[in-house]
Amino acid sequence: MKFFADTAEIDEIRELADTGLLDGVTTNPSLIMKSGRDIKEVTKEICALVDGPVSAETVALDAEGMIAEGRELAKIAENIAIKVPLTWAGIKACKVLSGEGRMVNVTLCFSANQAILAAKAGATFISPFIGRLDDINLDGMELIEDIRTIYDNYGFETQILAASIRSVNHIADSARVGADVITAPPAVIKKMVAHPLTDKGLDAFLADWGKTGQKIL
């Protein structure tokens, strides 16, 4: 499974990138706004920090506008994945941009039918939003399972990018049902290491080590 960080905060991305665990980054207009930075400036900086795909989102509502914005964003760096919404205009834009050999991330997916259209349009990534489905009492993980089954049935190469990750359980569950990628806030990714029994065991080891009076360095 690939790990993408869902943020536009440079310090958070750098910390994860230094671990060697980070495979890419996703941004969106809300994250750009939160960063307080110019979209092209901050996206270029992110692209220099990671080798993998960096999703930069268009904001136009019509296909022609999305295509034009996507081409402009793609000039930032070779690892840009152009992000378009799962609307009819977004599907049209995806078909054109993917046909030009560009990576395209089709976002805001909430149904298997939408995911089929994105794959048919040549999307590199499809981004089902798990947490937002959970918010309305639907099982976001069932959507991941459905898309996995459909894509495997027909050999679609579009990667399932589980988004709207709210907890470490979302990450483990996404891996269990076959998502190719997860994108999550850095804080959630870092929480994956935490377990009370790890802390308890480490405390016990250190207590015993202290009794020996030894030093390694």
Active site residues: 83
Residues with Cβ within 8 Å of 31's Cβ and at least 6 positions away in sequence, in order, are 6, 7, 8
Classify 60 as helix, strand or coil: coil
Residues with Cβ within 8 Å of 139's Cβ and at least 6 positions away in sequence, in order, are 133
> Helix-strand-coil percent breakdown of the chain, rounded to 5?
55, 20, 30
Count CA atoms within 13 Å of residue 187 on its CB side. 3
